[in-house]
A and B are shown apart, each in its own frame.
Chain A
Amino acid sequence: EIVMTQSPATLSVSPGERATLSCRASQSVSSNLAWYQQKPGQAPRLLIYGASTRATGIPARFSGSGSGTEFTLTISSLQSEDFAVYYCQQYNNWPPTWTFGQGTKVEIK
């Protein structure tokens, strides 16, 4: 099983600042990585797929980068609605044994 490790567990950021979240895979997943945002009491929302492609309707302040085992989600200027938990997911294998990271909580500083 490919283990996804996210860091940090919690990120304290002031509104308007930049947030950088990391996701590391235990083995190469190429660019087969997605990012999701989840707010309390809500289902996750797809932000990024293919490591760097924004999903439909996702603001340009969200960007993804990386390939292989190291990935980054950057939120260029945090808005109040961006405070949430963010998960990465690898989908490199078939048959599927897709796995998620444990999440990074972005909280208001």
Chain B
Amino acid sequence: EVQLVESGGGLVQPGGSLRLSCAASGFTFSSYEMNWVRQAPGKGLEWVSYISSSGSTIYYADSVKGRFTISRDNAKNSLYLQMNSLRAEDTAVYYCVFGRAPYYFDYWGQGTLVTVSS
């Protein structure tokens, strides 16, 4: 059974940093491209970042470019999102996601809540 378990969320002050992790199991993690998608409280979904299966190709939404860094460790079956210079508008549930194709998302974690507030 595919499982994606996010962790690392919490309360952080504006300008602060946080590192999210996603532990993957039940599939060959190193074969799949991965993404982060977020959802602000009571709002819709926003794609955040993409990483290729090897980690060599990375893309970001304009809203996080230059502040967030996606990475992966295929030996540890783990995906990460380093978030720096956090803003109030980054407050959201962050989901680790992937799909049978890179572009849509069959599998979602349960999400981890990041709250940016003073």
Contact = CB atoms under 8 A, between A and B. Distances in A.
Interface in A84-102: 87, 89, 91, 95-102
Contacts of B61: 97
Main secondary structure of the interface of B (DSSP, over half): loop
- A-side interface size class: 20 to 34
Contacts, number: 51
Contacts of A32: 103
Given A46-B99, A95-B59, A89 B106 contact: no
Interface of B: 44-47, 50, 59, 61-62, 95, 99, 101, 103-106, 108-111
* The 8 nearest A-B residue pairs measured at CB: A91-B103, A43-B108, A34-B104, A100-B45, A98-B47, A49-B104, A102-B44, A95-B59
